[in-house]
Amino acid sequence: MGSKHLTRAGLALAVLGGLAGGTTYGARELLHRQAAQARRAIGKPLGEVAPSADKHYKKKYGAPVDLLVLGDSIAAGLGAERAKQTLGSRLARGIAEHAGRSVRLRTAAVVGSESSMLAAQLASLPGTYRPDVAVIVVGGNDVTHRVPVAESVRHLADAVDRLRALGAEVVVGTCPDLGALRPVPQPLRALGSRASRQLADAQRGVALEHGARVVSLAHVVGPFFITNPEEMFSLDRFHPSAHGYKRTAKAMLPSVLAALGVVEAVPFGHHAPGVGGSG
Q: Give the SS3 label for residue 137.
A: strand
Asked if 73 is an active-site residue, the reply is yes
Would you tell me the crossing angle of helices 25-42 and 9-17 to the nearest 10 degrees?
Answer: 140
CB distance 70 to 110 below 8 Å: no
Taking the C-alpha atoms of residue 62 and residue 203, their distance in angstroms, rounded to an integer, is: 35
Q: Which of 3, 72, 73, 155 is catalytic?
A: 73
Catalytic residue among 210, 239, 270, 271: 239
Helices 149-165 and 188-209 meet at what angle, rounded to 10? 40
Beta bridge partners of 104: 56, 66
Helical packing angle, 188-209 and 9-17, nearest 10°: 80
Cα dihedral 10, 13, 14, 20 sign: positive
* Contact call for residues 44 and 3 (beta carbons, < 8 A): yes
Backbone angles phi, psi at 186, to 5 degrees: -80, 145
3-state secondary structure of 72: coil
Q: Which is the catalytic residue, given 54, 66, 201, 236?
A: 236
- Is 236 a known active-site residue? yes
Whether the CB-CB separation of 257 and 95 falls below 8 Å is answered with yes
Catalytic positions are 73, 236, 239
